[in-house]
Amino acid sequence: MQPELQKLLKVRKWKPYLTRPFTLFGASLWQAWYGGQEAKVCMGTDASDFLFVEDPENTARSYWPEEQFDKFKKGREAVFVDYERTWKLLDEAAELNKQALRLIDGKESLSKVEDAIAFLVRTALRATVLPFWASQYYSKDKKMEERALALRATSYYPDIIEKVVMPLAKKRLQELGGNPEDINLLTYQELLAKDLSKIAQRREAIGRGWRYVYSIVDQKETVAFVPDANEVLKELQPELFVQQDIKGEIAFKGKAKGTVRIVDTFNWKTKTFDKGDILVSINSNPTYMPLIRKAGAIVTDEGGIMSHAAIVSRELKKPCVMGTRIATKVLKDRDIVEVDAEKGIVKILKRKTANGS
């Protein structure tokens, strides 16, 4: 491992936060999400340090310093203790969702990538992140909880990224003389700085199957590409490499057997998915609903009782095991599994072979 990377892994006590379908460009937007004024408004504080490791392609495991989690917990509580202010923020979130739909449908437009990012951050924090935590904080207040969960169930940030942010980012790259299809070889900060110098080198690394490691520490952005992301992950999360059963929380009871389909925001539209297949994903969001309706069961790496997967599984009465942490890493497309949502266990019945049979 590169000495600089070894130093990065030890400079903070990194703790797993979220895993999301993120390209390098997508990961670099995290600083805009949590590192600015909007985070202070919605979460009571901002975050300074981030670490992302790509695993597998176009999916990133994110890490925060341990003390940052405590800082955000206290910040959220300081926001939510003010009931009227929280309700007002949720009202504003509902209006942002209406605007999001107009932008996604092309009935309204933005002209600059900076404006698109600002809108993304505002909408994502107010209409997705804040409702998630508010629904937990106000779990005994039915009116507030229902308001928060309704917003949580209609999260538009993946579509905002795809249909609003990315076209403008590609347009900016083209205006700088670059190939718009290279946008995911850049960070947002590099795009703003007009720095295209690393594109060719990163394209070559990706061609060799290397994965990115992206970080911001003490306001300094670094990008590295590594031939084996597992080498990095073993330092950060050794538990991922210990042989273990796939276990999680039960969102809705039941049992189902079927073929695994690993789904993310990059592939869900083109994914082969038959009725009764087992939807396996990092987490769930409303864009997956056409597949969820066909699924025999749902299995996720992340999520709690108020997550989208939990809510829709209860509504549709589909067996669901969530919060497994390792399902998308252990399972492969076309594995045959049994989802036992009576015990919260996913059993592999038959492994996909090398020829795909």
Give me the percent of the chain exceeding a pLDDT of 70. 97
pLDDT for residue 116 is more than 70: yes
Residue 356's pLDDT band (cuts 50, 70, 90): low
On average, the pLDDT of the chain sits at 91
Mean pLDDT within 260-277: 87
* C-alpha distances in Å from residue 184, one per residue of 121, 174, 202, 348: 19, 13, 10, 34
pLDDT given at position 306 = 67
pLDDT for residue 354 is more than 60: no
CATH code, 244-350: 3.50.30.10
pLDDT given at position 352 = 72
Residue 32's pLDDT band (cuts 50, 70, 90): confident
User: Residue 86 and residue 292: Cα distance in Å, rounded?
Assistant: 31
Mean pLDDT within 11-15: 93
User: Residue 278 and residue 282: Cα distance in Å, rounded?
Assistant: 13
pLDDT for residue 357 is more than 60: no
> 0.95 exceeded by the pTM?
no
pLDDT for residue 180 is more than 60: yes
pLDDT for residue 186 is more than 60: yes
Mean pLDDT within 21-34: 90
> Do residues 134 and 84 touch, judged by C-beta distance below 8 A?
no
pLDDT for residue 178 is more than 80: yes
CA-atom Rg of the chain in angstroms: 20
> What's the pLDDT tens digit per position in 235-247?
998 877 776 678 9
pLDDT for residue 36 is more than 80: yes
Q: Domain residue spans in the chain?
A: 3-231, 244-350
Helical H segments across 155-281, by residue range: 157-160, 166-175, 188-192, 199-207, 229-236
In terms of C-beta density within 10 A (0-12 exposed, 13-18 middle, 19 or more buried), how is residue 350 classed? exposed
Q: CB count, 10 Å around CB of 66?
A: 11
Mean pLDDT within 45-69: 91
